């Protein structure tokens, strides 16, 4: 058995024996839990095994630590710097044969180096795997762009791509970095869409743009550290992803991608089993440093670590959007979702099918903010071939293509604003509301519409009952200030309290995409029913949008207005929308007098896009 020594004694010994790292360095102090640096990150994935590195680790040094000090510290432990798998933000350190023979693993050095004042963090690298499911050759059409029911699905359960392409003017070129297992840059449907480094002269063996990468014409391979981001062997995942985002348009070949003006930066970070999250982090850093507007990643990052998080945050600081697949475990709130609270340039994408339902394999949760078609998606494969693949891996590049178009149409938008616009202009699909916040499924045509301001109230009028408190400012937020109305009786029928709101629509009746009302209200007596109605400018009648039983404490209600009648509620001349909230208490028994009640509205938030 290896003798266990105290850390202080060990440090003294290591100064004199840098290549013979005593096994006692950590065997007594390694816990069975997974430790990520000195910041207390312990994460367990309940459904997927997270595999961490045994023979290398990741270290981020403080800027104050000189290169000389860093090298001497590393040599003190007998570790080796892997220059080709490191960058300016992190260093990959490799164990040697003596460490391994002594029974030491990388987590020993993570614990030791985490306590060094010159180190920001030290952590284990995490093995990365793709998020995708097998091909399904039964589907051979791009229903996700224009669903006519050709695959047996629901017509219009798509992203309205043809409608968008008809008005595709003024959209600037944007670059999406596809971080994956490589891209077949010679494919007939991808070659015209490939980004090319404008500051690099091909094949001259010189780093012309002095970015640290020689002859990086189409991107970079961080897994092999070379300038050839093409796939190796039969790997086709990245090629399929790239075609979804930016397959060439109107070239008489194969398929069409989402955006005619989108270019693909090819980043190969995955080289099969044994690929590491640090290679993805390095790919992210290359992308934002070299002109990408959007980064799309379709890989399992449930075991995310500090190194990956900081790479995404650096992209955010450079105003670059990062999209990641939600995952294919049919799991609610997967571990990767926690990253959303730590950086605002990130969005996770769920998968939907041709019936506008969540794909059976797709993860979902409170921070997975949009869905996109991902079941049986046709796109490019190796060697000028085409085929179907399914997964959130397919949904994510589709959403990335929409974000890229948004950034090309509205170049002044920040990364966060572009994501907010993506969410705001997504279709609100009732069948998705239980798994995706607001039931949001991306819509390319809607995304081309100019962003609108908040829907404003113009007036509030009590139609029936007695107004006893509150005004328009009371219902604009959930601060417990409220409008209260005492009901008025109608003989033989019951008690009524009715209030009308006139809204100022930010869109005309010709370009309205969606209307939603969030209402928080109550009655002081049980038994009242609330009706939400809207004035139909075509029929001249009040259409009932919702009817629900009121409680005696505030209840929240969301009303999504049908797309079929949206335009009829917006006045063609004034752009006004009239909405009435009506609370009704029936006569409880024949001949009895109506029982009066108080109707209170704490909040009504209209959203018209």
Q: Is 144 a catalytic residue?
A: no
Please give the residue range of the domain that contains residue 546.
Answer: 456-608
Pick the catalytic residue from 359, 393, 505, 600: 393
Least confident of 338-342, 470-474, 519-523: 470-474
Task: Write down the pLDDT at residue 527.
Answer: 87
Residues paired with residue 256 on neighbouring β-strands, in sequence order: none
Q: Is 237 a catalytic residue?
A: yes
What's the whole-number mean pLDDT along residues 368-384? 95
- If we measure between CA atoms, which residue out of 513, 563, 131, 159 comes closest to residue 356? 159
Q: Are residues 306 and 237 in the same domain?
A: yes
Q: What does 516-556 look like in DSSP terms, one character per residue?
A: EEEEEEEESSTT-EEEEEEE-TTT-SEEEEEEEE--SS-EE
- Residue 484 included in any domain: yes
Domain boundary among 82, 107, 126: 126
**CATH number reported for the structural domain that contains residue 184 in this entry:** 3.40.50.200
Per-residue CA distances from 359 to 324, 387, 501, 606 (Å): 17, 19, 39, 30
Q: Which residue did the predictor score with more confidence, 501 or 589?
A: 501
Question: Contact at 8 Å (CB) between 190 and 257?
Answer: no
Q: Are residues 102 and 184 in the same domain?
A: no
- Residue 278 included in any domain: yes
Distance CA 419, CA 180 (A): 22
Q: Are residues 375 and 428 in the same domain?
A: yes
Q: Are residues 461 and 542 in the same domain?
A: yes
Domain boundary among 126, 149, 181: 126
- If we measure between CA atoms, which residue out of 70, 42, 40, 56 comes closest to residue 124? 56
Q: Is 393 a catalytic residue?
A: yes
Pick the catalytic residue from 237, 240, 249, 269: 237
Question: Contact at 8 Å (CB) between 604 and 504?
Answer: no
Most confident of 261-265, 564-568, 594-598: 261-265
The tally of domains found in the chain comes to 3
Distance CA 200, CA 606 (A): 51
Pick the catalytic residue from 131, 158, 180, 427: 180
- Residue 2 included in any domain: no
Locate all alpha helices (DSSP H) within 425-517, ordered by sequence: 444-447
CA angle 168, 173, 174 (to 5 degrees): 115
Q: Are residues 156 and 20 in the same domain?
A: no
Domain boundary among 104, 126, 148: 126
Band of pLDDT at residue 421, cut at 50, 70 and 90: very high
Band of pLDDT at residue 29, cut at 50, 70 and 90: very low
Q: Are residues 255 and 317 in the same domain?
A: yes
Residues 524-556 pLDDT 10s:
998 899 999 999 999 999 999 999 999 999 888
Residues 125-178 pLDDT 10s:
999 988 754 443 333 467 788 787 878 888 888 877 877 877 777 899 999 999
């Amino acid at each position: 058995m290896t003798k266990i020594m105290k850390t202080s004694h060990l440090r003294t010994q290591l100064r004199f024996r840098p290549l013979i790292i005593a096994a006692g360095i950590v065997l007594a102090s390694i816990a069975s839990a997974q430790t990520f640096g000195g910041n207390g990150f312990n994460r367990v994935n309940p459904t997927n095994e997270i595999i961490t590195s045994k023979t290398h680790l990741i270290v981020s040094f403080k800027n104050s630590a000189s290169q000389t000090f860093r090298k001497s510290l590393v040599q003190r432990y007998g570790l080796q710097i892997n220059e080709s798998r490191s960058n300016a933000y992190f260093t990959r350190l490799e164990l040697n044969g003596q460490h391994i023979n002594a029974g030491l693993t990388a987590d020993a050095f993570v614990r030791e180096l985490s306590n060094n004042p010159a180190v920001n963090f030290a952590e284990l690298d995490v093995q990365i795997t793709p998020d995708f499911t097998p091909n399904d050759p039964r589907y051979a059409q791009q229903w996700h762009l224009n669903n006519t029911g050709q695959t047996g699905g629901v017509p219009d359960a798509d992203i309205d791509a043809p409608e968008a392409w008809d008005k595709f003017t003024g959209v600037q070129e944007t670059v999406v970095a596809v971080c994956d297992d490589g891209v077949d840059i010679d494919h007939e449907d991808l070659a015209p869409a490939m980004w090319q480094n404008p500051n690099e002269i091909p094949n001259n063996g010189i780093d012309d743009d002095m970015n640290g990468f020689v002859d990086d014409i189409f991107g970079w391979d961080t897994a092999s550290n070379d300038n050839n981001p093409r796939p190796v062997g039969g790997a086709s995942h990245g090629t399929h992803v790239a075609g979804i985002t930016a397959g060439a348009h109107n070239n008489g070949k194969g398929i069409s991608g989402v955006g005619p003006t989108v270019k693909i930066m090819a980043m190969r970070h995955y080289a099969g089993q044994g690929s590491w999250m640090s290679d993805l982090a390095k790919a992210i850093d290359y992308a934002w440093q070299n002109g990408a507007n959007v980064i799309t990643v379709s890989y399992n990052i449930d075991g995310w670590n500090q190194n990956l998080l900081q790479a995404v945050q650096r992209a955010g600081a450079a105003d670059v959007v990062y999209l990641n697949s939600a995952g294919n475990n049919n799991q609610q709130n997967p571990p990767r979702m926690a990253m959303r609270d730590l950086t605002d340039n990130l969005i996770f994408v769920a998968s939907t099918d041709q019936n506008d339902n969540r794909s059976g394999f797709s993860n979902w949760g409170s921070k997975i903010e949009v869905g996109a078609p991902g079941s049986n998606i046709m796109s490019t494969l190796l060697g000028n071939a085409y085929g179907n693949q399914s997964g959130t891996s397919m949904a994510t590049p589709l959403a990335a293509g929409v974000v890229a178009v948004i950034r090309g149409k509205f170049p002044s938008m920040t990364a966060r604003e572009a994501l907010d616009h993506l969410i705001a202009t997504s279709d609100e699909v009732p069948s998705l509301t239980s798994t995706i916040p607001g039931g949001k499924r991306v819509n390319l045509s809607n995304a081309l519409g100019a962003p609108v301001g908040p829907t404003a109230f113009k007036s509030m009028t009590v139609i029936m009952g007695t107004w006893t408190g509150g005004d328009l400012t009371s219902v604009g937020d959930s601060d417990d200030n409220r409008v209260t109305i005492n009901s008025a009786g109608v003989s033989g029928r019951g008690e009524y309290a009715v209030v009308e709101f006139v809204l100022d629509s930010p869109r005309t009746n010709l370009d309205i995409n969606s209307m939603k009302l969030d209402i928080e209200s109550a009655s002081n007596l049980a038994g009242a029913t609330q009706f939400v109605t809207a004035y139909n400018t075509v029929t001249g009648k009040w259409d009932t949008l919702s009817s629900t039983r009121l409680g005696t404490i505030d209840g929240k209600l969301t009303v999504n207005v049908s797309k079929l009648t949206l335009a009829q509620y917006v006045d063609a001349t004034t752009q006004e929308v009239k909405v009435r909230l009506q609370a009704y208490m029936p006569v409880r028994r024949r001949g009895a007098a109506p029982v009066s009640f108080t109707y209170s509205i704490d909040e009504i938030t209209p959203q018209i896009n």
